[in-house]
Amino acid sequence: MKAIGFLASHEGTTAEALTDIEIDRPTPSGRDLLVQIQAISVNPVDTKVRRRTTGTGGTYQILGWDAVGEVISVGEGATTYRPGDKVWYAGDITRPGANAEYHLVDERIVGKRPGTLSDAEAAAIPLTAITAWELLFDRLGLDEVSEGEDTPGPRLLIVGAAGGVGSILVQLAKQLTDATVIGTASRPQSQAWVTELGADHVLDHRRPFVEELSRVGIDNVTHVISLNHTDDHFDRLIEALAPQGKFALIDDPQTLLDIRKLKQKSISLHWELMFTRSMFETDDMTKQRDLLNRVAELIDEGRIRTTVGANYGAICAENLRKAHRDIESGSAIGKIVLEGFD
């Protein structure tokens, strides 16, 4: 079967960084599903793994942790899905990724894809939706409220709201919580994108947060989600947080964060990695299946929209290298998707 892989770590996106290859089609066992891949999206984690892998022992490593496809066959222990089911998922970072024609995935982290989106539109969502959902409800402990409730709620600041996670996070926070949602973006086109997704306010993260919040009539925020460059913003975010606030992040700061600065305000710190449940096969691993099914329902109800920023065409090494370059440049808005094999 066709796949795209690499043999050694590469900082750049030369031809050796990602290569078109042919490998054997896998066979499912246990609770695995064999899925024929129809569309994928590219996330920052793909570029990080490509750059940081120290060696593959002569075996091609395959990236890709966002997929939409059709179940072809199932392992003897699988009970949730059958051949012909249309599914979506983000996968398990400890296993080969979905940049291949066929892919094995544990059924416990797989959801039924929304019926109102195309394959490419759906592929933009799983990893970022899981990350956003876990940030809101598992890490920060925000309450899901019923539609139509109108009570004063928390004030949520999302740093980097125009990216993949931010784009779905803004929507989920607006649809499912009573938070005032404040996003940050620095360019006019990214600010417009965040506004279109439903943010109550959009700030410029190049300016002091306290000043930007004051500009829109807000003294401080109760919750912060920092999606990128946390080390650059750390002190200013602490300044903007209310006493006893909550601070969540997903990125990998290049310099150490001095968490002692959180003590005076009794701010709690929360890290999110959406692969934790699958990496450790936690008892609540099926929560990811459940939340993917819930997000699919929200999409089919018209409450959540796809976050596709660009479609780069067929799933091949050349197009994936371009996607990696654009993600590493920091200029991507929304998600980059690819669909089908030549």
DSSP code of 55?
-
Answer whether residue 90 shows pLDDT above 80: yes
Residue 44 CB contacts under 8 Å (≥ 6 apart), including other chains: 164, 327
The model's pLDDT over 100-116, given as tens digits with 9 standing for 90+, comes to: 999 999 999 999 999 99
Pairing type for strands 110-112 and 86-89 reads antiparallel
Residue 55's pLDDT band, with cuts at 50, 70 and 90, is low
Q: 2-125+278-339 is classed in which CATH architecture? A: Alpha-Beta Complex (3.90)
- Residue 48, both tokens: 């990080």
Residue 51's pLDDT band, with cuts at 50, 70 and 90, is confident
Domain 129-271, CATH 3.40.50.2300 — does that match?
no
**Quick one: average pLDDT of 120-137?**
98
Contact call for residues 226 and 246 (beta carbons, < 8 A)? no
Pairing type for strands 180-184 and 155-159 reads parallel
Q: Rounded to an integer, what distance in angstroms lies between the CA atom of residue 263 and that of residue 26?
A: 51
The residues spanned by each domain of the chain are: 2-125+278-339, 129-271
37: which strand partners? 69
Pairing type for strands 241-249 and 221-226 reads parallel
The model's pLDDT over 150-165, given as tens digits with 9 standing for 90+, comes to: 667 899 999 999 999 9
Contact call for residues 225 and 159 (beta carbons, < 8 A)? yes
Closest CA to 323 of 334, 341, 338: 338
Answer whether residue 318 shows pLDDT above 80: yes
Q: pLDDT averaged over the chain?
A: 94
